[in-house]
Structure 1
């Protein structure tokens, strides 16, 4: 399956677009740069991982995407608190980011199980 067909990639891409649109008027370039980079990193790492050949590499990039979601959630909370982002908008994006993190967590567990099974197949007594 191509990464463009993955629902998690589609949703992460949509969230990144929402972050860009929501922060369009933010004048603080440092904040804006940081939050948009975190948002863009999520679908980008999902895509990069899916383009890798080994399952181990795929998992590594899913971990990067999950980490970027944690960064994004933090920045959304801060953005709401300092009134750069409307609170309701920020909370809706936080909810989506947390749902994506759960989905990615499940994907990671599934792929790590696959790695363990592959390694068990090569076990020599």
Structure 2
């Protein structure tokens, strides 16, 4: 499916793993570590990215994989939104925000493009969805 042998080979999953590691690092520090609601929510959203990519891949259906990739993409957006709250509350600095936000955006682009590719394989993509998942500047994932 999609030319990948294991979900661990998928770049979006690898990026999600890195994002999760970084989110856990920054949420262990200072006031962020004591804001249990935001801390737990951003951690869950980050973990959800890799979990949904893996679950969708293991279902061995292009349509199911595409659906779970889009859920992972949503979790990536959730992380970005929560990063704004962390920045606004002074839990993270602008440099950390930019780094993590860029990483989450890369995941968004990669999962969206891969979902688009898998939906095309099923013949279920509609005309108005044809370019929905492509993010400018994000390379289209290869399947070889």
TM-score (norm 2): 0.78
User: Could you list the runs of 5+ residues in structure 1 that have no partner in the other structure?
Assistant: 118-125
Q: Secondary structure at the match of 1:14?
A: helix
Choose from 85, 102, 122 the match for 1:115: 122
Measured in 2, the distance between the counterparts of 1:87 and 1:27 equals 20
Aligned to 1:19: 23
TM-align CA RMSD:
1.1
| Runs of 4+ that moved beyond 6 A | none
TM-score (norm 1): 0.89
The Cα shift of 1:53 comes to: 2.3
**Which has more helix, going by share of residues?**
1
Count of aligned pairs between the two proteins: 117
The answer (yes or no) to whether the contact 2:62–2:122 under 8 Å persists in 1 is yes
- Map 1:1-125 → 2, pairs under 5 A: 1-25=5-29, 26-116=33-123
Larger radius of gyration: 1
1:73-98 alpha-carbon deviations (Å, 9 max, x no partner): 00001101101122210111001111
User: Could you list the runs of 5+ residues in structure 2 that have no partner in the other structure?
Assistant: 125-144
Measured in 1, the distance between the counterparts of 2:92 and 2:24 equals 11
